A and B are shown apart, each in its own frame.
Chain A
Amino acid sequence: MTRYSAWSVFKNGLSGHKNWGRAWRDPEPKTEYDVVIVGAGLHGLATAYYLAKNHGVKNIAVVEKGWLGGGNAGRNTTIVRSNYMMPGNRDFYEHSLELWENLSHDLNYNVMFSQRSHISLLHTPAARDGAARRYNTMRLTGTDAEIWDLDTLKREVPHLNYNSARFPIMGAAVQRRAGSARHDAVAWGYARGADQHGVDIIQNCEVTGVTREGGKVTSLETSRGTIKAGKVGFAVAGNSSRLWSMAGLGKLPIETHKLQAFVSEPLKPLLDQVVVFGVGGAHFYISQSDKGGMVFGGDLDWYKSYAQRGNLPIVQDVAECATSIMPCLGRVRLLRHWSGVMDMSMDGAPFICKTPVDNLYLNAGWNYGGFKASPASGWHFADLIANDRAGRKIEHFNLQRFERGVNIDERGAGPDPKLHG
């Protein structure tokens, strides 16, 4: 497999870029694997990559019902940040951000990670106090965090509505190391990296049944035949509950909801950072892609749904948010909007854990936050599968936490999945 470099670009340029090899193979499924990961999204591919790279596991397959990166990996707003406060989340997301910082080099694939600052607008003294508490906690635990006054914010982001906002902007809470990345490149980079380590990525291979014998999963029934497995990991956000019930395990603390996102026609450089707006009932986040499109999103559609398509009230809601904080977007045309279905968990925190079945492992419940988490999620899920014990950074991400009363409820919204935005 070609190692990408300036030299390889130059060399292939001489032959008109017609001789690049394919980035990963398209293998037929074997009858048996040591580890089968279900779901070739960012989490599944990252898990396979780190299983092979960090733990030397051979004979791994990633099975995917559609095409790799075609689920939520391709349906998000690509925000990367670690501004979490709760113990359990704090360490984990910081580790993920550290992995992002070196990801392009590690994968030899440009994931276009851009640390362009994540700016949460503040509109009330109470919000400012709350943000100060959260961002001070971040500083005390080794992350960068800043609170900006209005003058600093105006200097850095001049286009916001500072004149006629219903809730005037007072300042902002900022994480400078946060930013965004190119979602497809992350999926392709992990796929290529995993493939180079011998992982079979099997697309168009839907799991239709989970066979258990003697307290263990023995094989998966798929649309491309039966695949025997030594260990199985589920990483299928949105459909976790369906696989869970296929495995005969009953219910999960998860509901499936859909979240829309939007991109505008390409514009000249307008917004250098990721900006987040949330006051009262509003929830809105926006950044500008390298191609120029304004990428933005808001709340869930509010009702449970497996349909990967959005609904109009949220389009209106998000458009109102957009024009209320950036009135200059008023005449910008929408290019596309789309929707992904996600696992909304009961406390807004994920699961990377063992299950009641010995050789089955669960990676689920990512709510809005799966994109930024994918490197650390793969890293620690691989560690869990390889060593059959949860490492310190994921010890709270288990299914027992609700019974024990140790919910990791970052937003303090209670056990209602749709509220954990």
Chain B
Amino acid sequence: MIRINCPFCGERDHSEFTYGGDASIEYPALDASIEEWHEAVFLRENIRGMQSETWHHVNGCRSWLIIERDTMTHEIKSIRPAHEGYASALASSSSSSNDAVGEQDQ
């Protein structure tokens, strides 16, 4: 079992999450060429080693996270919310702000 330290919920089993995919992909503009879209949609670097990827805490807070994880050892190097500013927006809108959120979102 991989343990994922969700910045909002704390450390949980990976079975609470679903794997999204490669987080390094940058989708091109809508009117970009077919080659650029082909590369973004179909081609993958498929790294053996540390890669950046998206996970969805689907049975938890339902946030999307960006995780750096080794695809050979499954060791996790870093975890942050996928949407910048999301954590701080949550923290400021709630009086009971979660310290873990602030730390992980730097």
Q: Could you list which residues of chain A lie within 8 angstroms of chain B, going by C-beta atoms?
A: 239, 241-242, 245, 250-256, 302-307, 311-313, 346, 402-403, 415-418
Given contacts A253-B43, A254-B46, A256-B48, 18 further A-B contacts (CB under 8 A): A242-B46, A242-B48, A250-B43, A251-B39, A251-B43, A251-B44, A251-B45, A255-B22, A303-B2, A304-B51, A304-B53, A305-B74, A307-B72, A311-B2, A402-B41, A403-B38, A416-B21, A418-B19
Residues of B within 8 A of A253 (CB): 42-44
Residues of A within 8 A of B13 (CB): 313
Bound together, the chains give a CA A251 to CA B72 distance in angstroms of 19
Question: Which residues from chain B contact A241 at a C-beta distance below 8 Å?
Answer: 44-46
Contacts A302-B19, A304-B53, A311-B2 given; indicate if A346 touches B72 (C-beta within 8 A): no
Q: Quick one: given A305-B74, A306-B71, are A252 and B46 in contact (CB under 8 Å)?
A: yes
Residues of A near B22 (CB, < 8 A) are 255, 304
B15 at the interface (CB under 8 A from A): yes
A256 to B21, CA, bound (A): 12
List A contacts of B34 (CB < 8 A).
Answer: 403
User: Chain A contacts of B41 at CB under 8 A?
Assistant: 346, 402, 415
The reply on B32 being an interface residue by CB < 8 A is no
**Neighbour of A306 across the interface among B1, B14, B48, B53, CB < 8 A:** B48
Bound: A256/B43 CA distance, A: 13
A302 to B38, CA, bound (A): 23
Residue of A256, A303, A346 near B42 (CB, 8 A) is A346
Q: List 15 A-B contacts (CB under 8 A).
A: A241-B46, A242-B48, A251-B39, A252-B43, A253-B43, A302-B18, A303-B19, A303-B53, A304-B51, A307-B71, A307-B72, A307-B74, A346-B42, A415-B41, A418-B21
Task: List the count of A-B residue pairs having beta carbons below 8 Å apart.
Answer: 73
Which residues on A sit within 8 Å (CB–CB) of B93? none
Query: Smallest Cβ distance from B63 to chain A, in angstroms?
Result: 17
Contact count band on B: 20 to 34
B74 neighbours in A (Cβ, 8 Å): 305, 307
> Is B95 on the interface with A (CB-CB < 8 A)?
no
Known A313-B15, A416-B21; contact A305-B71, beta-carbon cutoff 8 A: yes
Q: How far is the CA of A57 from the CA of B2 in the complex (A)?
A: 48
B73 within 8 A of A: yes
Complex Cα gap A117–B54 (Å) = 41
A346 / chain B contacts, CB cutoff of 8 Å? 41-42
Which residues of B have CB within 8 Å of A305? 71-72, 74
- By a CB distance below 8 angstroms, the chain A residues around B43 are 250-253
Q: Are A256 and B71 in contact (CB under 8 A)?
A: yes
Contacts of B19 in A (CB 8 A): 302-304, 418
Q: From residue 5 to 48 of chain B, which have CB atoms closer than 8 A to chain A?
A: 13-15, 18-19, 21-22, 34-35, 38-39, 41-46, 48
B2 / chain A contacts, CB cutoff of 8 Å: 303, 311
CB of A133, distance to nearest CB on chain B (Å):
28
In the docked arrangement, what's the CA distance between A312 and B3, Å?
A: 12
Bound: A312/B1 CA distance, A: 6
List, in ascending order, chain B residues with CB within 8 A of A306's CB.
48, 71-72
10 tightest A-B CB contacts, nearest first: A241-B46, A303-B19, A251-B43, A313-B15, A402-B42, A253-B42, A306-B48, A306-B72, A346-B42, A403-B38
Kindly report which residue of chain B lies nearest to residue A307, judged by CB atoms.
B72
